[in-house]
Structure 1
Amino acid sequence: MATGSDLKRAIGLMSGTSMDGIDLAMLETDGDSIVHRGASSSTPYDAAFRKRLEAALETAKSIDARSDRPDDLAGLEADLTDRHAATVEAFLAREGLEATDIDVIGFHGQTVLHRPLKALTVQLGDGQRMAKRLGIDVVYDLRAHDMTLGGQGAPLVPAYHRALAAGLPDDLASETPVAFVNIGGISNITYVDPQSELLAFDSGPGNTLIDQWVARHAGIPYDSGGAIASEGRVLSGLANRYLASPFFTAKERISLDRNDFTLPADDEAGLEDGARTLAFVSAAAIAKAQAHFPAKPKLWILTGGGRHNRIIVEDLTVATRHSGRVIVAEEAGLNGDSMEAEAWAWLAVRSLHGLPLTYPGTTGVKEPATGGVLARP
């Protein structure tokens, strides 16, 4: 059991916009400055379930209220919750732990609709169902309260990035400002500088367009290591069309939905050139974020699945060569695969303590705000 009135053992569960599976991570933390990272795991979704989630994105477009579950969404929510719970059960068995060894679970669920300008966000996931099955307290629905206070409900991980930045190894600690870049389906960036407020926002498409492109043209879920992109060339006209989006130049930063950027037409590019161009767009979008920071980052720390795409990493390294250096999370002693799940564990504890999860500089909320719903067994 976790000891002390503030220190808790927590499990975080994350299923991101790539919809590729469930990431789990365990922490012992006070939800503030103490972060003891523990074991983690990743459980992929089978192809049939991924198709159900993709179909849910279309179904969810008809939602007008957060509680709406049209068509099969209620059944899908129950199935998704049960898959997450089973992942926890398998993890506890593997680690030789009991449910009583865990103080709280932070449950993200699966985002199927995110419309910040309408203050509407929907994450499938029944925290009460999970708490009852596992016999563990569950904190879920962490985005909604922020939106009632004028925020965009995303990104939520930046406060955790700041906690990690404070604990970087000595050889990196002096390289500030530092930017954490999570390259998931959508890329988001956190700017951490002791001399300024915490800033964060979505930077643009990360892996989502690449994944959809190779799925359509090659029948595979993603471009492993950027292998397909490495065989192609950047189509400048197509890339420039994406990068000319008003999203990149708008002063107000908004959080993105998976469908805000769409695929090229099939006749605009072949498999390799399309993958190469979309990888370039992902990197260029990240580099463009510098225009919205007080100063250029001296260090870029890459997390999420996109850090494995060497073409994205190489393009970003070139684009930022005059300002800072680019490293992957592991070079900073961190785990780039489990970081978001870790964040959800940390945020759950933070929620229990009533501490802020979001800030004016991260989601646009009017004032620092806590959030989350607590479900008990």
Structure 2
Amino acid sequence: MLKGGAVWALGTMSGTSLDGVDAAMILTDGERILEFGESAYRPYSDAERATLRAALGRWPEEEAVAQATEAVEAAHAELLARFRGAELVGFHGQTLAHEPGGRGTHQAGSGDRLARALRLPVVWDFRSADVRAGGQGAPLAPFYHFACARRIGADQPVAFLNLGGVGNLTWVDPRHGGPEAPGACLAFDTGPANAPVNDLMQARFGRSHDEGGGLAARGRVEEAIVTRFLEHAYFARIPPKSLDRDAFAGLLDAVAGLADADAAATLTAAAAAAVAQGASHFPTPVRRLLVTGGGRRNPVLMAMIEARMGIEAVPVEQVGLDGDMLEAQAFAFLAVRVARGLPTSGPSTTGVPSCIGGGRISRPDELALQP
């Protein structure tokens, strides 16, 4: 177990958009955010991104996974070596496959290599215990969102929207004693967010994303496709619920016959419609959405969300948070909770039957004793 009091923890995130690795430090006791620290970003190279794409949907021991794992571990080791003063690391790894209720969940990367390289304890494999216990294993940021709501002084329910490759919503009532309390949090994946547009841009232009929504802004939304998209069985399911990055792979096929701008606009509208549909599950309405993730920089997507929901969607920077680093910070926070034996997910965030603490801990002193 970790010593008492606050510690500087270093967290990482490499999301389903496959853009790169975020790393950030926070001072926390696993319940409160006491101070924000240094952060940094390392983009994946084109070659690394291609290696990761080749391994998407694959499980350990399958073809291409070893190369992807090597790329993930090397990128993280390079980035994390820049930091000083961390006492603990939270390493998320790169999700390659996620199938709760089926084969499980697979994040490429082992904490052992990082623990040896950094000479620090590394918490990793955050999702597997939740999935084994019957949960979705995702999303895992909600308990951190609760701490964020407290940090910004919220005294009423507030919602956080993460727009990564997949979108997810967290509804938080900070008046409760903690994130594990009944009624404190509700969280779930909304549906595809940036991933379909990113894949479209890669396939048609060899570009990683639609910069500023510029292509979508010139297009016309094919509403019939959006309507059919919302008929998917996923949207009728009661949360909590989660998705794999490629769960809606057919969406790209649906826009295959559209002009470039119309396809981008339609995929962007589908992401916005999924968020609006998801908000119907909130226990009580919220006045605005606090948006994190790369999608908050897409003014077309943000405007579509506002139009479909009728409320303001604002980047989390407006309340003093860092939308680029919030998920990396979340895994620093969760690492401390794991090390202290605190729960990291619960029935209303991942659907696990009871609150559970996930994660494995690789300790450099123990690894040094291994042959």
Match of 2:229? 242
How many aligned positions are there?
354
Match of 1:43? 42
Partners of 1:237 and 1:356 in 2: how far apart? 43
Residue identity in the other structure for 1:73? V
User: Where does 1:41-120 land on structure 2 (aligned, <5 Å)?
Assistant: 41-58=40-57, 60=58, 63=59, 68-89=60-81, 91-92=82-83, 97=84, 101-118=85-102, 120=104
Partners of 1:42 and 1:249 in 2: how far apart? 37
- 2:112 maps to which of 115, 128, 138: 128
Q: Does 1:22 align with 2:21?
A: yes
Could you give the per-residue CA deviations for residues 174-203 of structure 1, whole angstroms, max 9, x where no partner exists? Answer: 4x3211000000001000123733100000
- 1:220 maps to which of 185, 195, 207: 207
Q: How has the CA–CA distance of structure 1 residues 228 and 254 changed in structure 2, closer, same or farther, with 3 Å as cutoff? A: same
Residue identity in the other structure for 1:208? A
Of the structure 1 ranges 214-223 and 249-258, higher mean CA displacement relative to structure 2 is found in 249-258
Could you give the per-residue CA deviations for residues 141-196 of structure 1, whole angstroms, max 9, x where no partner exists? Answer: 01111112111110100000000001215xxx34x321100000000100012373
Q: How has the CA–CA distance of structure 1 residues 56 and 355 changed in structure 2, closer, same or farther, with 3 Å as cutoff? A: same
**Contact 2:187–2:239 (8 Å) recurs in 1:** no
TM-score (norm 1): 0.90
Could you give the per-residue CA deviations for residues 233-289 of structure 1, whole angstroms, max 9, x where no partner exists? Answer: 111111112122111112254210011012135642111111111111111111111
- 2:167 maps to which of 187, 204, 209: 187
Match of 2:294? 305
**Contact 2:188–2:239 (8 Å) recurs in 1:** no
Q: How has the CA–CA distance of structure 1 residues 142 and 233 changed in structure 2, closer, same or farther, with 3 Å as cutoff? A: same
Q: How has the CA–CA distance of structure 1 residues 302 and 266 changed in structure 2, closer, same or farther, with 3 Å as cutoff? A: closer
Match of 1:351? 338
Match of 1:264? 253
Partners of 1:69 and 1:296 in 2: how far apart? 45
Q: How has the CA–CA distance of structure 1 residues 372 and 267 changed in structure 2, closer, same or farther, with 3 Å as cutoff? A: closer
Match of 1:177? 157
Match of 1:5? 4
Q: How has the CA–CA distance of structure 1 residues 238 and 348 changed in structure 2, closer, same or farther, with 3 Å as cutoff? A: same
Partners of 1:166 and 1:74 in 2: how far apart? 41
Partners of 1:294 and 1:223 in 2: how far apart? 34
- 1:199 maps to which of 169, 179, 186: 186
- 1:144 maps to which of 119, 125, 128: 128
Residue identity in the other structure for 1:163? A
Partners of 1:246 and 1:268 in 2: how far apart? 24
User: Where does 1:265-344 land on structure 2 (aligned, <5 Å)?
Assistant: 265=254, 267-321=256-310, 324-344=311-331
Residue identity in the other structure for 2:21? I
Residue identity in the other structure for 1:308? R
TM-score (norm 2): 0.92
Partners of 2:200 and 2:353 in 1: how far apart? 38
Q: How has the CA–CA distance of structure 1 residues 252 and 332 changed in structure 2, closer, same or farther, with 3 Å as cutoff? A: closer
Q: How has the CA–CA distance of structure 1 residues 272 and 11 changed in structure 2, closer, same or farther, with 3 Å as cutoff? A: same
Partners of 1:339 and 1:290 in 2: how far apart? 21
Cα shift at 1:320? 2.0
Residue ranges of structure 1 left out of the alignment (5+ in a row): none
Partners of 2:103 and 2:281 in 1: how far apart? 23
Partners of 1:251 and 1:104 in 2: how far apart? 36
Residue identity in the other structure for 2:65? L
Residue identity in the other structure for 1:346? F
Residue identity in the other structure for 1:50? R
* Overall identity of the aligned pairs, in %: 40
Residue identity in the other structure for 2:361? L
Residue identity in the other structure for 2:147? A
Residue identity in the other structure for 1:209? P
Partners of 2:349 and 2:321 in 1: how far apart? 22
Residue identity in the other structure for 1:166? R
Question: What do you get for the CA RMSD once the two structures are aligned?
Answer: 1.6
Match of 2:349? 362
Could you give the per-residue CA deviations for residues 8-35 of structure 1, whole angstroms, max 9, x where no partner exists? Answer: 1111111000011000101111011233
- SS of the equivalent of 1:276 reads helix
Match of 1:34? 33
**Contact 2:343–2:355 (8 Å) recurs in 1:** yes
